[in-house]
Structure 1
């Protein structure tokens, strides 16, 4: 009977250690998950900022300003403008 009690006590201690170890691992994994979710939120914010910056860099007024200032381009006078028909032409 004493041996059975000692055996059961040993099994109980091992099971308790297993539960503690499992809870510790679960907490570590949960903390890692939260850290990765925070990182994902930061990446989403950065993506939004980059999308906004991209739309700003490609805005028509900005491109026109660069064309005028840096490339010294200007709108041609009306006698120099030639209207070309559409590429496929209209068949009648």
Structure 2
């Protein structure tokens, strides 16, 4: 998986996991993408923060410190989809 794809997938599911701390599937999936980042891309210290209408992802790689901004609506789209699905909110 490309580094950019892994980071974006990690961001989206980590937002879900943080919003739904009792959602075992979200937690497991977030851990899966964190493992991909560590094992396949030698990433460390991956974190995100919200700044206004943006999410900023920062991650340390052996050759660089990487930072990227994503629109909050885009980053939260998975959470919105899950919260709008009744079977996931019982």
More strand by share: 2
Q: TM-score, normalised by structure 2?
A: 0.23
More helix by share: 1
Larger radius of gyration between Structure 1 and Structure 2? 1
